[in-house]
C-alpha cells in the first residue's frame, strides 16, 4: 500500500532550497500553511537559509501579522510575484523601499497560470491587464525602482488581429498547500476550509517542473475512510505532509476564529442571527450602490466597502434571495465576512475553485461588480492599487472590472480623517479628509476609463456626497447628497472639472434612515 511521507514543520522548512521558487496557496489566512510558514521563517532567522527565493502567490495571504508576512525578511526573498499586499504591512514596506524585486499580476491570471503551466504550456494569453499598469508598455506590473530594470514577465502578443497579454510561465520548485485531513496514503481533503482556491492546479504545475508539494493538515485518518469525491489532491502528488501540532493557533479556518461550520457549508445559521451593519458613511455609500441592483443580477463584491457592507445591506433589506452575490474566492450567495476575513461567507449556496470563478469573471463577465475607490481622474481612470508608498496591489480588481457589464466604485470622496453627520435627511461634513481622491491624474492605472468608454461599459462612482457616471466625454456628476453645497464641497475639492448633468438630482433621503431597513426595491432587469 502507498504510504505518505509524514514530516515535521521544521523538516519541511529544510526542504526549501536557496534560490528556489516557492508558491504558497491561501487567501487572507484561509488555507494558509501557517505552521510551515513559521518554520521557514525560524530556519532563516537561525541559519540564514533558505535565501534569495522567489515567492509566488495569487492572493493576499495575511491578516496583517501572520501568513506570508513570515517571509518578509531581506535576504529570504529576492523576488515576490503576487497580486495583493493590502493586509501585509511588512511586504508593502519592503516593496516601497525597494528591498525586494516586486511584480504585481492580476490575481485571476496567476491562479489560471498555474493551470496553463500544469497543461505543459509556456504561459497563458488573456486580454486582462491591457491598458493598465500590468501592460508592459505602461509599467509591466513592476512595483518599485528596483524592479524597473528587471526583465518583463508579461508580453504583448497579437492573434487574429487583436492584442493580448501573455503571462509567462513561472517554473515552481515547491508549493505549500493546506488541507483538512488526509489518509495514510496522503489523499487530502479540504472539507473544513472556507474556500476551495486553486490547490490542485498549483500542485499539478509544481509536478510539471519536478517541484516538491508540501501539505499541512489538521488530522490523519485510515486509508479507505475518505469519500473519493471529497479528495482535493490525490496522495500520489504530495511529497511531504505536516500534521499541525497546534491547530488552534496554526490551522485556523480563518484569522478571527478556529472553525465555524457555517462558513464551510456544513451548517447554516438563521438569517436573523446575522447582525446588520452599523450606520455610518460606509453603509450610506453601500446603500446608494445597492439601488442599482436588479432582480436576478449576478454580483461581485471587492474588498473594502463592497464586501464589508453590500451583502449585509442586502440581507437587512430582505433582497438577498433575489440576486446572487459572488466573491472572487469562488463563493456564491450567503452573507460575506469582511475585513481580514475577506472572501468567505455564511449560508453559501455554492463554492467553486478560485481559478474557475475567474473563468466566469474573465469570460462571460459578472453583471455588476462593486469595487473600492482609491483615486479618480477626469478620464474616468481609477487607481485602487498604489496610494503613495502603500503598494496594495491589484488582487482580482483588474480581472473583474475589465469584463464586468457594470462597474460601481464605492468610496468616500476624500480620505484620512473625514467626519460626517447624517441627520434630518441631510449630510453635514464635520471635517474634511486630508487626501484628495478626485485627482488630475491617477498615480497608477488600475482601471482604464478611456477603454471602458470606447467599449460602452457602464461605470458609476458612488461617494457619500456625490454620484458620478462615466460618459463619452468623461466623468459626469449626476447626484449630490442633500445638505451638500455643489461648489464648495464638491467642485472645489476636485482637481478636475467634471461634466455636470442637466438633470442633476439629489440622493434619496431614505438612505439617511439609521434604524432598520431604508426600503430597498430592486429594479426589473432590462430586456
Domain ranges of the chain: 6-245, 281-327+361-512
Q: How confident is the model at residue 270 (pLDDT cuts 50, 70, 90)?
A: confident
% the chain with pLDDT above 90? 94
d(Cα 495, Cα 86) in Å, to the nearest integer? Answer: 26
d(Cα 348, Cα 332) in Å, to the nearest integer? Answer: 6
Q: What CATH number was assigned to the domain covering residues 281-327+361-512?
A: 3.40.1080.10
Q: What is the pLDDT of the chain when averaged over all its residues?
A: 96
pTM of the complete model beyond 0.85: yes
Angle in degrees, CA 198, 23, 106, rounded to 5: 65
* Phi, psi of 384, deg, nearest 5: -130, 20
Q: Closest by alpha carbon to 128, among 451, 409, 454?
A: 451
Distances from the Cα of 17 to the Cα of 52, 53, 77, 274, 517, angstroms: 9, 8, 12, 47, 56
* Phi, psi of 172, deg, nearest 5: -105, 130
The pLDDT value recorded for residue 339 is 87
The pLDDT value recorded for residue 357 is 98
pLDDT, tens digit, 9 for 90 and up, residues 26-68? 999 999 999 999 999 999 999 999 999 999 999 999 999 999 9
User: How many helices and strands in the chain, by DSSP H and E?
Assistant: 13, 35
C-alpha cell at 492: 472645489
C-alpha cell at 381: 481612470
Q: How large is the average pLDDT for residues 90-94?
A: 97
Q: How confident is the model at residue 332 (pLDDT cuts 50, 70, 90)?
A: very high
Residue 367: is its pLDDT beyond 90? yes
Q: How confident is the model at residue 269 (pLDDT cuts 50, 70, 90)?
A: confident
The pLDDT value recorded for residue 512 is 96
User: Cβ(54)–Cβ(77) under 8 Å?
Assistant: yes
Q: Closest by alpha carbon to 493, among 471, 466, 511, 527?
A: 466
Torsion of CA 72, 73, 76, 79, to 10 degrees: 50
117-131, 268-282, 379-393, range with the lowest pLDDT: 268-282
Q: Which ranges of 89-209 would DSSP assign to H, the alpha helix?
A: 89-96, 107-118, 199-208
Residue 526: is its pLDDT beyond 80? no
199-203, 211-215, 272-276, 497-501, range with the lowest pLDDT: 272-276
C-alpha cell at 392: 496594495
Residue 527: is its pLDDT beyond 60? no
Q: How confident is the model at residue 101 (pLDDT cuts 50, 70, 90)?
A: very high
Q: How large is the average pLDDT for residues 495-524?
A: 96
The pLDDT value recorded for residue 84 is 97
Strand, helix or coil at 58? Answer: coil
Per the listing, cell 516593496 goes with: 95
Q: How large is the average pLDDT for residues 88-102?
A: 97
Say yes or no: do domains 6-245 and 281-327+361-512 share a fold.
yes
Residue 248: is its pLDDT beyond 70? yes
* Phi, psi of 398, deg, nearest 5: -70, -45
The pLDDT value recorded for residue 473 is 92
Q: State the Rg of the chain over Cα.
A: 23
d(Cα 333, Cα 285) in Å, to the nearest integer? Answer: 21
The pLDDT value recorded for residue 184 is 97
Q: How large is the average pLDDT for residues 499-512?
A: 96
d(Cα 490, Cα 350) in Å, to the nearest integer? Answer: 42
Q: How confident is the model at residue 503 (pLDDT cuts 50, 70, 90)?
A: very high
Q: Which of 328, 375, 379, 479 is catalytic?
A: 328
d(Cα 443, Cα 486) in Å, to the nearest integer? Answer: 26
Q: Which ranges of 209-276 would DSSP assign to H, the alpha helix?
A: 247-250
> Which of 146-155, 271-280, 309-318 has maximum average pLDDT?
146-155
Residue 373: is its pLDDT beyond 70? yes
User: Cβ(126)–Cβ(109) under 8 Å?
Assistant: yes
Strand, helix or coil at 186? Answer: coil
Residue 361: is its pLDDT beyond 90? yes
Q: How confident is the model at residue 389 (pLDDT cuts 50, 70, 90)?
A: confident
d(Cα 508, Cα 519) in Å, to the nearest integer? Answer: 11
Residue 398: is its pLDDT beyond 70? yes
pLDDT, tens digit, 9 for 90 and up, residues 333-347? 988 888 899 999 999
Does the annotation mark 192 as catalytic? no
HSE at residue 2, side-chain half, CA atoms within 13 A, is 12
% the chain with pLDDT above 70? 100
Distances from the Cα of 104 to the Cα of 85, 143, 395, angstroms: 10, 7, 9
CATH class of 6-245: alpha beta
The pLDDT value recorded for residue 273 is 75
C-alpha cell at 39: 518554520
The pLDDT value recorded for residue 426 is 96
User: Cβ(61)–Cβ(29) under 8 Å?
Assistant: yes
Per the listing, cell 532550497 goes with: 17
C-alpha cell at 426: 441631510
User: Cβ(213)–Cβ(16) under 8 Å?
Assistant: no
State how far Cα 273 lies from the chain centre. Answer: 27
Amino acid at each position: 500500500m502507498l504510504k505518505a511521507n509524514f514530516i515535521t514543520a521544521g523538516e519541511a522548512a529544510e526542504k526549501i532550497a536557496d534560490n528556489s521558487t516557492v508558491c504558497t496557496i491561501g487567501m487572507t489566512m484561509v488555507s494558509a500553511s501557517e505552521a510551515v510558514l513559521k518554520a521557514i521563517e525560524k530556519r532563516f532567522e537561525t541559519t540564514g537559509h533558505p535565501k534569495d527565493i522567489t515567492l509566488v502567490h495569487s492572493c493576499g495571504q495575511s491578516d496583517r501579522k501572520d501568513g506570508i508576512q513570515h517571509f518578509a525578511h531581506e535576504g529570504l526573498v529576492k523576488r515576490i510575484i503576487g497580486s495583493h499586499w493590502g493586509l501585509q504591512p511588512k511586504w508593502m514596506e519592503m516593496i516601497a523601499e525597494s528591498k525586494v524585486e516586486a511584480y504585481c499580476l492580476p490575481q485571476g491570471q496567476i491562479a489560471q497560470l498555474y493551470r496553463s503551466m500544469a497543461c505543459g504550456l509556456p504561459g497563458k494569453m488573456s486580454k486582462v491587464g491591457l491598458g493598465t499598469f500590468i501592460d508592459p508598455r505602461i509599467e509591466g506590473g513592476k512595483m518599485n525602482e528596483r524592479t524597473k530594470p528587471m526583465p518583463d514577465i508579461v508580453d504583448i502578443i497579437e492573434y487574429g488581429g487583436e492584442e493580448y497579454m501573455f503571462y509567462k510561465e513561472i517554473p515552481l520548485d515547491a508549493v505549500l498547500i493546506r488541507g483538512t485531513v488526509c489518509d495514510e496514503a496522503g489523499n487530502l481533503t479540504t472539507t473544513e476550509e472556507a474556500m476551495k482556491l486553486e490547490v490542485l492546479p498549483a500542485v499539478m504545475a509544481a509536478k510539471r517542473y519536478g517541484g516538491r508539494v508540501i501539505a499541512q493538515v489538521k488530522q490523519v485518518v485510515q486509508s479507505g475512510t475518505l469519500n473519493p469525491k471529497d479528495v482535493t489532491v490525490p496522495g500520489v502528488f504530495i511529497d511531504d505532509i505536516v500534521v499541525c501540532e497546534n491547530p488552534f493557533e496554526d490551522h485556523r479556518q480563518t484569522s478571527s476564529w478556529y472553525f465555524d461550520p457555517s462558513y464551510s457549508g456544513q451548517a447554516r445559521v438563521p438569517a436573523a442571527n446575522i447582525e446588520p451593519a452599523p450606520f455610518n458613511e460606509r453603509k450610506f455609500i453601500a446603500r446608494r450602490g445597492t439601488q442599482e441592483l436588479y432582480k436576478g443580477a449576478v454580483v461581485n463584491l471587492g474588498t473594502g466597502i463592497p464586501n464589508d457592507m453590500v451583502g449585509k445591506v442586502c440581507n437587512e433589506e430582505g433582497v438577498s434571495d433575489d440576486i446572487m452575490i459572488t466573491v472572487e474566492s469562488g463563493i456564491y450567495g450567503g452573507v460575506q465576512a469582511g475585513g481580514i476575513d475577506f472572501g468567505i461567507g455564511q449560508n453559501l449556496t455554492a463554492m467553486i475553485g478560485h481559478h474557475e470563478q475567474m473563468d466566469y469573471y474573465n469570460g462571460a463577465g459578472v453583471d455588476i461588480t462593486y469595487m473600492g475607490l482609491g483615486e479618480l481622474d477626469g478620464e474616468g481612470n481609477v487607481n485602487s492599487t498604489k496610494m503613495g508608498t502603500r503598494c496594495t496591489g491589484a488582487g482580482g480588481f483588474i480581472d473583474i472590472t475589465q469584463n464586468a457589464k457594470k462597474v460601481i466604485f464605492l468610496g468616500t470622496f476624500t480620505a484620512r480623517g473625514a467626519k460626517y453627520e447624517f441627520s434630518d435627511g441631510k449630510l453635514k461634513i464635520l471635517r474634511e479628509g486630508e487626501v484628495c481622491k478626485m485627482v488630475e491624474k491617477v498615480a497608477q492605472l488600475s482601471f482604464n476609463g478611456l477603454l471602458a468608454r470606447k467599449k460602452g461599459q457602464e461605470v458609476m462612482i458612488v461617494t457619500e456626497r456625490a454620484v458620478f457616471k462615466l460618459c463619452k466625454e468623461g466623468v459626469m456628476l449626476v447626484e449630490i447628497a442633500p445638505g451638500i453645497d455643489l461648489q464648495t464641497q464638491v467642485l472645489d475639492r476636485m482637481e478636475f472639472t467634471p461634466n455636470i448633468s442637466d438633470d442633476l438630482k439629489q440622493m434619496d433621503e431614505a438612505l439617511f434612515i439609521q434604524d432598520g431597513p431604508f426600503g430597498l426595491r430592486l429594479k426589473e432587469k432590462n430586456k
